Chains A and B, each alone.
Chain A
Amino acid sequence: MVNGGSESGSTSSVSREDNMVVSSEDSSSPDESELELGLGLSLGGGGGSKMHRASKCGQYARILTAQDFPSSSPPPPSSSSSSSFSLSGANVTTGTKRTADSVAAAANGSCQVAGWPPIRAYRMNSMVNQAKASVTEGFNSTTTENCRKETSMVENSTIGSYHSSGSNTNASRTSLFVKVKMDGIPIGRKVDLNAPESYEKLAKTLEEMFLETTPSANPAGSRARQHDVTNKTTRHSKLLDGSYDFVLTYEDREGDWMLVGDVPWEMFGSLVKRLRIVRKSEATGLAPRTEERNQRQRRKPV
């Protein structure tokens, strides 16, 4: 019996089909909200499918943990294995086939672990936000007056944050993927805001994503790429300093589009919904930079 063509059949067979679909209650979901367990590791973020395929030879990429995310340089393979993983030194026969090119993955800062550990995204985000709130209590303009008074009284005795408990002082490395689109490029990407540690690093990641993997969307882009190749390691991010034809903007929780870089980095993740790299000329409402104005004037026919 296919699709909706059941009218000619007997009512009982329609009923049987319907009833299969309108099934009895789940045992898996009692009244309360659930954290449902599923485990897995898939490599997302920048690099996408290529990265995924490369590491699939072992299929079970090593779990990347907080220690793995490189601050300046990738950690040497042996230390990262032992600090965060159990199989080092353990029974080799069952273990080896599950280690893969994850060190290569760790070396590429934009590669993240998705869906691990299997904790509902809401809970993860709330953990991050709790940590940020305790860091930035003074900046946070949304706390009520009462709250601020009360929190300042007990500030020093550690208001709950997920990271003050236990001996671990690393910031939580939950993934916080947001969409990024660039003007002129139809396909968007996603970037994990919790991976980079500063606006500079974020901008570099985005530049790598968009400016080096796509064909030139405009002449300025190809000029920029040439510039990239020569000064890759030492230049500041063009997206941030206004010297480029594109600027980095974000949509905040209230739906407004803002220039990236105004608020302290620690707060940024909790404010941003998505990112957009816009042509400066279209960034109306954002003050044009001096250089651009000069350039435009220079180009004007005399």
Chain B
Amino acid sequence: MVPFNVAIRRRLFDLCDDENISATSSLETKRNYIRDNLKDNYDSIIEGLQIGITQQPYKMPFWATLLTLVIGPEGLETDVPWPNRICSDLVRGFQAQLDKLRWREIRLYLQFFGHLAAIGFITPESMVSQLLSFTSVLDEPGVSYERASMAALCAGEALLRAASVLHNHSPHKVYDILSVLGAFSQSLQAQTSMSQPVILLHTQEAHNTNEQLKCLLSALREVEDDGFAYPATLLRPQEDFPQLQDLEPTFALPSILVPPEIAHVEEEISTSAPAVHHRELPTVWIRLFDVEPSINPTRAGGYLLRSTYEDVIDIYEVNRKEAAKILLQMDRWFTRGTFRSSPGATTSEEGSTGVQLELSVMETILGSMMILPRPKHKPVYYHALITEFAKLSASTVGPAVGKSIRKLYALLGEGLDVEAAKRFSDWFAVHMSNFGYQWVWKEWTTDLQLDPTHPKRTFMRRAIELEIRLSYYDRILKTLPDAMQSPEAQIMPAEIPGHDFEYESSGNSHHYIASNLLKKLQDRATLMEVSIQVDTMRTELTSSGLSDSRAGSRTRSITMQCLLVLGARSFSHFLNAIERYIKVLQNLSTTPDAKFEMLEIVSTFWRRNRQMITIIFDKLMQYQIVDPSDVVSWAFEGGGLGEKGDGLGTFQWEVMRLALDKSNGRVSIAQRRIVQQRKIDDEARAAKIAEAAKNESMDVDDIAMKAEEEPIEESTDLQKQTRAHQILVAEQKSVLSRAVEGFVTVINDTDEVISETAWNERSSWTKKQWDAVETWGWFRHFARSYAPYLRVYRESLSMAYLSRVAAERPAGKLLREIWSITVEQDS
């Protein structure tokens, strides 16, 4: 059953949805609906408008017009006009969002107010001072990037809509706003170079990218140059209503203060609350298409489209199917001529210019997906959204997807950031898996001439590897043209994914003992039996003349490989094998060297299936057989993959990220446990006091006072949690140290690769250079992604490791530049 108030407000949301009814008549219908409900359902109407404004931002001009149209039912007296009364209540809704600092909602309310100012309902005076409250945030001492940028967007996006009236009324204040925004945008130059999806090592200069605030500012400058006119892309439904012409502004927004950021309140972290990632670096969008026929977000019209798309993508994250539907109909909410007519439609003169809808949506979704260091939502959301979008209109979206892929591909080896390239291949494989793996690989055949380590080649290999993981070898092989099927092309893995058991052949000198053990394991021998057999094996190996350490290594190798054979049938089989004999594995991996060997055994065994390497490493960490720091070491030393010490490829990065996240995740769980334990202890203490008060018939406050005088003893549980936390924090530091050390070691020797001259000679680059450039890319990504964690240890890490690369050398300079902007936040 739908509650009554919900049923009432719901009927507002189809405002102007029906294409067969004119906007004017839809607005009139809603106005009458509101009129008929004002008396009995006033609150539901307010709720409805609040939801409409914050969840259907593409209808903003209509929501604003609707409000100004509202009339009351006959016989119902009101001391202020209805639109004014309703608007006061909407402002209360805005204030509530402001108190919680929900920036998206705040920004959308301000857009709404901007439209109302443009219509002539809200006084320009109150509107401009509203905006100034937001720009004043930028001057707060020590303001965080996130807070400042959110406030800047709020002010700027509202100004885009209301510039005309605000400039007429108080030109100086408008110029003030523009100059504050301009100064803020200027100050972001260095940070921007850390989150650009296309970046070269020798310069901070941008190409193929757009930084969001810079776009907004340039859009505002265009409006300025245009005499502060109302942007041409935005609809003006108010013009169809004579009663809304030449309105005398009657509504003054109350003056507000943007509340300070809520400090990290420990009590608010529940064990299930997701971690909050604060943005520290500017939002930079990748630019795929030349200004026509997609969006140019540096122009007023383009920015308005882009930000509306972005809001829809963000708001409708809970239902990607609806998001896709709205996006595919976006052209309805902007003026005619903004978009070119869709392919196949009768082309008139007017329809041949403007934005191509599908292309612009694809560019926006991919741009959001590639925001660095992390997109707003998980990349898989954007994958799924594109899938829905393509399913809705295969014939028009399909070509847009193809063009986007080609543009992204063209940027490979031309500065596309390593993480952006990784997200590209991740999306590519998932997308293909949803559409029958149909890609015209043929068109990339000429790129087989490139060096095998060129990013285009690496992309093809990785995309195919991921496709195989989602499907199977033979299926994917069939999708490739002949030239790419052959092993020489180095696109398909040379062999079908599988494992290599070193002791399988009877020719191996340890074949006999290995097969004995394997037999036992297959017969589900008890843990005790297997332990004894493993011990015996070690003794026998030692007495056959091996040194203690080599006998230990051999025992480890045989035992682990036998377990891997047992677990090779499936992920579950592997888990079963590990769990049954976990004690044996723990005894075999008591030192860092032994743990590292374990990782090498696994990676050699599964050399032909890198997915299994990541799965098993993850679980070996989970079962505490190896530590995350061992995995980081492995990532750099490339154990078992024949790529030792060459730098960090995407796969090694993935493995390392697994370890970093595992370690951080453990600390985060431990922190939450402490918070929870404190709460439990506090409650227990309070209960004890209450009990004591009851027994001694004393006042609770007196007892509490007495209790306060005594030192609070931590419960044993809390002590245990605290100790666990300390251990995990130490491990976290060790993981981060190992990672920084690994990067510094590889990067140390790259002076000649990072210069402009070197870059210009990239056509002759081979493995050494491409590997070095990729490692730099991952270092940048590591620093910007884990900056909040690294910051805690910035001094000791910098002293111990950064100091190893001389500051005056090019590599030392770049290393320090990345470190200081991301970790130390100096710019």
Asked if A and B bind, the verdict is no
Q: B residues within 8 Å of A by Cβ?
A: none
Q: A residues within 8 Å of B by Cβ?
A: none
